[in-house]
Structure 1
Amino acid sequence: MNAEAIDLLIRTELPAAARGDRDAYGRIVGACQNAVTAVALAITRDVPASEDIAQDAFLAAWQNLKRLQNPSSFLPWLRQITRNLARDHLRANRHRPLDGEGAEIAISLAADPSPTPAQQLVQDEREQAAAELIAALPEDSREVLLLYYREGQSSQQVATLLGLSDAAVRKRLSRARQGLRDDLLRRFGEFARSSAPTAAFTTIISAALAAASPPAAAKGIFAVAAAGGANTLGKVALGAAGSIGLALVAAFAGMWLGLRKQLKGAIDDEERAALIRSSVINALASIAFVACMLLVAVAARGTVMLVATIAAWLGFMAVIFYQTLVVQPRAMRRRHTLEAQRDPVAAARRRRRERIHCWIGGIVGFVSGCAGVVLGLNAAGVL
């Protein structure tokens, strides 16, 4: 199946798969299994482990399909899930590489077509040799070279499946070829093709899909775990708590520093109380916004997530701007009047400088926040 056909198949079958059609998703698995197993194998250098990881990645993606609104994001999303699971596997199963084995010996063992009676021993040797061979390749060329031989030596096909340009694929292939002799490269091609998943791989996943839950938005927090590489709810909760904590600390630090500066010049308790009240409102708005974003991330998806995020962001910014541009200047009006009576020129200069700083800070904060919201929605597959 060529690159255009794979892209068309994903776009055609993905909506049905997201509605729970296991057969549609099975067809997607069959089209993408070479790419996914190649990504896992390039990282783990272990053929059986790469197939296990690929199966887990396909199942994780299946259960969270409803969170992916843009079909063109499917392959990048699936590749990232696979990479995260493969890295988790390496952290959990650290193996030392072979000692004293050159690439030529390793590739000969990995690609040796004649089995010996001691099948288990040979299998272990081939797996170790394959790991050594892949490790000898440039890191950024491993996925490319494996997939190149599995996909009929089409650089364009590899480019589509890995989200690269054709020029980038050709460059990485060239680097890999420079590091291997022709006969070793030929044997590596045999190894790549012989280790590719067969039709049985798709059958295994199809059977697993029959027992797995269909795509559901209620699994939102687990979708974050799958996409980010976390494998327990505790890790997700801890990550969320850390993000919220950092956001609140940054917000409160900025508010406290601004409040301290304002309180230094307060002329009486009435002004001081008004300024403190305004800062407390800003702090509560920050807490409410972060809590709202966490709720949206867990419970919403698609258009609902987009609308809820924009509404929460605009509401938050409206509170901050109103307190900063209306309430706080009103609270300090009497102070500004006294300053203007003592030195009109200096007071006017100070007010002008304060307005400039306020607008610059507001614009920078608003633009930065909008950029963060857009990036977050894009990462979630909403945009």
Structure 2
Amino acid sequence: MSNDAIDLLIKRELPAAVRGDRDAYGRIVVASQNAVTAVALAITRDVPASEDIAQEAFLSAWHHLPRLKNPSSFLPWLRQITRNLAHDHLRGRRNRMLDGDAAELAIQHAADPDGCPLQQALDAERDAVAADLISELPEDSREALLLYYREGQSSKQVAMLLGLSDAAVRKRLSRARQSVREDLLARFGEFARSSAPSAAFAVGVTAALGISKPAAAAGLGIATKSIAGSLFARFALGIAGAAAGGLLGGLVAAWFARGIILDYAADEHERSALLRFSRRYIGLSLAMIVAIIATHALLRDPASTFIAISVALLAMNWQLLVILPRLMNPLLARDARQDPVGAGQRMLAYRLTWGRTGVLMSNIVVIGSLVIAHLHLA
């Protein structure tokens, strides 16, 4: 999309977005997501963190759109919100100690020999390479160069998105080329393009808009401000968010409860079968969460959203109530024969996590979340 087209789109869609039109704001997100994530990435040098910050910036802007008096000020305002959030992130990361759930998760990953070390190594290498590549650039050239490669190497496009003159952008690009080796610059160009946010980014932002109109238009006042700092709180108030949140909770529980079923394995063959089931179940859970969010965001139809939620629940229940018992029943029977005393305690843990009791509790959590969300939105 050309710079004139982006500018025209923002001016055309912003009035509707201020009135609470999520689709109009979603189109603005699509047009400007490269710029916002580039601003955050240039500061944080962390791709996942930059997308989280960009998403929070878009949501913060959405809730405060009525404050914006001039549509032409939208992009400068949004960039400043992003920069503030990115610097807050860096300060928080320096000052934050690892504790609570974060510490437990870190310990779990360190202690779990089945935690896919190859993927962890690849992720760590990718993050380190990203940080090194960005660090090699002059600080004032990082945003411009990231956007230059993401926006088809158009300096005019970069100038419009960053609120600079074309001459200023060209000067920053020239400074970067002079200070960085040619091979490193080529690697940076590939990194910039590959790390650009996908269509799923805009879908996620638009889905998170679902619980309210911008603050003044909806008349939410202080109540809206109190939740503006939390992406999860805003999203969890929606029907799709409630269902996805319930499934996500079950997914996290399944991850940490894998050891309960793996302890029943007597040999590598049984262990491999249980690991395959666990990974398939977790992968299916993630797919169902994405399907619910995408259905809600794209179709905007409550009936379609509830169908997606119903299909997700059926798929998860089938895995736990039909597929898993076929694997576990022989192992449970063997355990009862070999150790009748200890088997009762192990069976209780199994029932509360993977068995019928655990399934019932998971369904109650998901359905209860839906009821609460429905009552809140009614």
Q: TM-score scaled to structure 2, two decimals?
A: 0.52
1:209 aligned partner: 209
AA partner of residue 165 (structure 2): S
Amino acid at match of 2:128: Q
Q: Deviations over 1:100-156 (max 9, x none)?
A: xxxxxxxxxxxxxxxx98122111111022112212211100000000000000000
Deviation at 1:211, TM superposition (A): 2.5
> Cα distance, 1:219 vs. partner?
6.5
Looking at structure 1, the residues matched to 208 and 183 of structure 2 have their Cα atoms a distance apart, in angstroms, of 40
Distance 2:140 2:224 in 1: 27
Classify the secondary structure of the residue corresponding to 1:216: helix
- Whose Rg is larger? 1
Give the residue type in structure 1 aligned to 2:193.
R
Q: Residue 160 and residue 206 in structure 1: after superposition, are their counterparts in 2 closer, same or farther (change >3 A)? A: same
Find the aligned partners of 1:155 and 1:191 in 2 and give their Cα distance. Answer: 18
In the alignment, the residues of structure 1 paired with residue 215 and residue 77 of structure 2 have an alpha-carbon distance, to the nearest angstrom, of 15
User: Does the CA-based 8 Å contact 1:58-1:78 persist in structure 2?
Assistant: yes
**In structure 2, what is the equivalent of residue 130 of structure 1?**
130
Task: Report if aligned partners of 2:26, 2:205 keep a CA contact under 8 Å in 1.
Answer: yes
Partner of 2:11: 11
8 Å contact from structure 2 (residues 14, 25) kept in 1: yes
Corresponding residue for 1:310?
none
Q: Which residue of 1 aligns with 2:64?
A: 64
Q: How far off its partner does 1:17 sit?
A: 0.3
- What percentage of aligned pairs have identical amino acids? 73
Answer yes or no: is the 8 Å Cα contact 1:19–1:215 preserved in 2. Answer: no
Shift of 1:180: 1.6
Task: Quote how far apart the aligned CAs of 1:222 are.
Answer: 9.7
The 1:123–1:10 alpha-carbon spacing in structure 2 relative to 1, beyond 3 Å, is same
Query: 1:69 aligns to what SS in structure 2?
Result: coil
Structural mapping, 1:1-383, within 5 Å: 1-94=1-94, 118-216=118-216
TM superposition shift of 1:220: 7.0
In structure 2, how many angstroms separate the alpha carbons of the residues matched to 1:188 and 1:169?
17
Gaps spanning 5+ residues in structure 2: where?
96-115, 231-378
1:215: Cα distance to partner?
3.7
Distance of 2:215 and 2:29 partners within structure 1: 15
Once the two structures are superposed, what CA deviation does each residue of 1:139-176 show, in whole Å capped at 9, x if it has no partner? 10000000000000000000000000000000000010
**Where does residue 310 of structure 2 map in the other structure?**
none
Deviations 1:262-292 (A, max 9, x none): xxxxxxxxxxxxxxxxxxxxxxxxxxxxxxx
Go from structure 1 to structure 2 and tell me whether the alpha carbon gap of 1:124 and 1:21 turns closer, same or farther (over 3 Å shift).
Answer: same
Quote the offset at 1:197 in angstroms: 0.2
Indicate how the Cα distance of structure 1 residues 50 and 222 shifts in structure 2: closer, same or farther if over 3 A, else same: farther
- Distance in 2 between residues matched to 1:80 and 1:46, nearest whole Å: 18
The SS at the match of 1:152 is coil
Letter of the 1:145 counterpart: L
Q: Is the partner of 1:93 in helix, strand or coil? A: helix
Residues 43 and 86 of structure 1 are in contact (CA less than 8 Å); yes or no, is this contact kept in structure 2? yes
Gaps spanning 5+ residues in structure 1: where?
96-115, 233-383
8 Å CA contact 1:67–1:220 kept in 2: the answer is no
How far the C-alpha of 1:214 sits from its partner, in A, is 3.0
Q: For the residues of structure 1 that align with 2:6 and 2:215, how far apart are their CA atoms?
A: 22
Q: Distance in 2 between matches of 1:212 and 1:205?
A: 13
Letter in 1 for 2:52: D
Distance, in Å, in 2 between the alignment partners of 1:41 and 1:202 is 17
Q: Secondary structure at the match of 2:94?
A: coil
Cα contact 2:26–2:206 (8 A) shared by 1: yes
AA aligned opposite 1:54: A
Cα distance change on mapping 1:219 and 1:87 into 2, 3 Å: farther
CA contact (8 A) 1:40 1:54 kept: yes
Distance 2:226 2:84 in 1: 10
* Paired residue secondary structure (1:164): coil
CA distance in 1, matches of 2:185, 2:45: 17
Change (3 A) 1:53 1:132: same
Query: Structure 1's 67 and 225: CA in aligned 2 closer, same or farther, altered over 3 A?
Result: farther
Opposite residue 190 of structure 1, the aligned amino acid is: E
Counterpart residue number, 2:242: none
- 1:206 Cα deviation (Å)? 0.9
For residue 78 of structure 1, what is the amino acid of its counterpart?
Answer: L
Q: Distance in 1 between matches of 2:170 and 2:17?
A: 34
Alignment-mate amino acid for residue 197 of structure 2: P
Are 1:225 and 1:231, in contact at CA under 8 Å, matched by a contact in 2?
Answer: yes
CA shift digits 1:230-268 (9 cap, x unpaired): 969xxxxxxxxxxxxxxxxxxxxxxxxxxxxxxxxxxxx
Report the Cα distance in structure 1 between the residues aligned to 2:117 and 2:3, rounded to whole angstroms.
Answer: 41
Higher mean Cα deviation, 63-72 or 207-216? 207-216
